[in-house]
Structure 1
Amino acid sequence: MIAEARRRAFLDAMQVDSWLPRVELPFAAPSRPYLLQAEPEPELTLSTPEPEVDPQPASPPQKRVEMPRPRVSLPEPKPAVVDDAIPVTSEPAPVAPPPRFALQLLRAGSCLLLVELPTGEPFASRDPAYLLLKDLLRAAGLPDSPTQVGDGEPIRWPLLHGGNLDQGAQAARDYVQGVVAVELEEARCACLWLVGLPALRFAGEVEADACNRELNVEGIGAAFAMPGLEQMMEEPERKAELWKALRRSKARWNEQT
């Protein structure tokens, strides 16, 4: 049998305070009475922890101060710089077509006539436009049978169809004024009649608003502007205005007749 001291050592090693057998052991020493009394179990009580009290008084809430934010200005976009070394391609300007007209150069007394041909062909004796021109010459006190100048061929523009020759408005103006200037050198005249819009533009360098009045054309001299023959036939009221203008100006060429 294990001695009592050794049995206690084992119990202590197993952290057992007391041990009682379930049955009576033979030859065992009687158990002590206090060991047979069960110790009352301690009651477990749950305690709520009290909140800790800060001995220092709470400080008042501080006021929030907002600092002004700096304004950020974006830089303005700079214009694009075009490098001169880089060629800038642009669409070519549209080229105006060359003007188209036909003018007849005639002489009546002391006046030279540059008349627009309504059909583009020389006048025939019974053409309505030619009959109107004869009426204008009689009203102005000039011979009503004008004579052709040079070979009688009209001044036509453009000169050539196609090719690289410049046939714009300025070239047409230089050509018409050159033909008139050559004729004036051969025989001086008191006044140059400009009949029709092409004659006004390419000999007198004026527009339709200059009709029914006298002009002074550089390099040519005195001129008288009037509407085209076909326009006067379509708008008869223009004839009355022209008659009045002719009566005012006919003294210029009648003195040298």
Structure 2
Amino acid sequence: MTLAAQEQNRHRWLEALGVDSWLPRGNLPGAAEIAPWVESFCYPNDAQADAWLEDVAESVEEQAVPVSTPAPKPVAARARIDTETLLDQRPAAVPKATPVERPVRTTPTSTVVEAPRFKLAFVLRQDLLIVDSLPPHQPQGFSRHHRALLTGITTALGAEADIELSDAMMLPWPMLASRTLDQGAEEARRAVQHKLRRTLESHRRITQVLLMGEAAAHWILGETAPLDTLQGRSFKLPSGLPVVVTLSLSELLRLPERKAEAWRDIQPLRLVRSSD
């Protein structure tokens, strides 16, 4: 059987099964070159069925293959499958269920205000309350250098030598590492005022307050002006206690040449203490 006859045989069976087959008539990009017999190949049809069978029979005789049983009669080609009819016989489509509307979950917009950052140290010596502003970004608190400098300042103000500085009571803000809690300016002001009130209630002997640094002046007095404007000025707390504002201990440690400037700022406290 020639190669063309074999292809016709294959296409005939494919056609009987309802499968359409195709052969390229020319070379395709990226594909192997077509065989020479493809150009003369003809798809078998009903009119060519007898000639095709004869060609098959002749090719079998030429090969002289012994056959133990007579060749079966060719089966008539079956009608091609009507795809459109099969599609028309498909069961009716099941109607889609009506989707249930579900409430859309929305993420509530956070209204938490950015927390201010500051660190205050509350220190007592005799009848003087000192509130010092510490750098909030530095992990160390009220160091021995801060303590030594403040001891010298308060001694110069007239504090008795046998009365030492108290331990520093720290108030860092924000107090908790949380972005979901409200630690905004209003909450910070309440915390500072609560700390101040509790300190004054626990130490009735306090008669004067020294605020050192901008953060202390801002959160104790509620003043929003820069430190240059507040420095050296005298204020009063709602309770009537006199208050003086000057540079922070950290600033004086960093720039010792400003100690004379701070000494001039605290003269009202010195004069008040001298009159006791």
Per-residue deviation at 1:239? 1.7
CA distance in 2 between counterparts of 1:226 and 1:251 reads 16
Q: Are 1:102 and 1:120, in contact at CA under 8 Å, matched by a contact in 2?
A: no
2:186 is the alignment partner of 1:179:
no
Structure 1 equivalent of residue 158 of structure 2? 141
Which structure has the bigger radius of gyration?
Answer: 1
CA distance in 2 between counterparts of 1:187 and 1:130 reads 20
Query: Secondary structure in 1 aligned to 2:209?
Result: strand
Q: 1:172 to 1:120 in 2, by over 3 A?
A: farther
**Given the alignment, which residue of 222, 245, 250 partners 2:265?**
245
Paired AA for residue 185 in structure 1: E
* Greater mean deviation of Cα atoms: 178-187 or 160-169: 160-169
> How much is the aligned-residue C-alpha RMSD, in angstroms?
2.7
Q: Cα deviation per residue 1:99-136 (whole Å; 9 max; x = unaligned)? A: 112212111111111112344534343x2x33222221
Where in structure 2 are there 5+ consecutive unaligned residues? 1-108
CA distance in 1 between counterparts of 2:187 and 2:239 reads 16
**Given the alignment, which residue of 176, 180, 184 partners 1:164?**
180
Q: 1:143 to 1:157 in 2, by over 3 A?
A: farther
Q: 1:219 to 1:158 in 2, by over 3 A?
A: farther
**Given the alignment, which residue of 66, 85, 98 partners 2:115?**
98
Structure 2 equivalent of residue 25 of structure 1? none
Structure 2 equivalent of residue 229 of structure 1? 249
Q: Normalising by the residue count of structure 1, what TM-score does the alignment of the two structures yield?
A: 0.54
Structure 1 equivalent of residue 80 of structure 2? none
2:144 is the alignment partner of 1:121:
no
Q: 1:121 to 1:232 in 2, by over 3 A?
A: same
**Given the alignment, which residue of 176, 192, 203 partners 2:220?**
203
Q: Cα deviation per residue 1:50-71 (whole Å; 9 max; x = unaligned)? A: xxxxxxxxxxxxxxxxxxxxxx
Query: Secondary structure in 1 aligned to 2:193?
Result: helix
CA distance in 2 between counterparts of 1:236 and 1:122 reads 20
Q: Are 1:121 and 1:154, in contact at CA under 8 Å, matched by a contact in 2?
A: no
2:151 is the alignment partner of 1:131:
no
Q: 1:230 to 1:178 in 2, by over 3 A?
A: same
CA distance in 2 between counterparts of 1:158 and 1:224 reads 26
Q: Are 1:139 and 1:243, in contact at CA under 8 Å, matched by a contact in 2?
A: no
CA distance in 2 between counterparts of 1:217 and 1:163 reads 33
CA distance in 2 between counterparts of 1:155 and 1:237 reads 28
Q: Normalising by the residue count of structure 2, what TM-score does the alignment of the two structures yield?
A: 0.51
Question: How many correspondences in the alignment?
Answer: 160
Per-residue deviation at 1:215? 0.9
Bigger fraction of residues in helix: 2
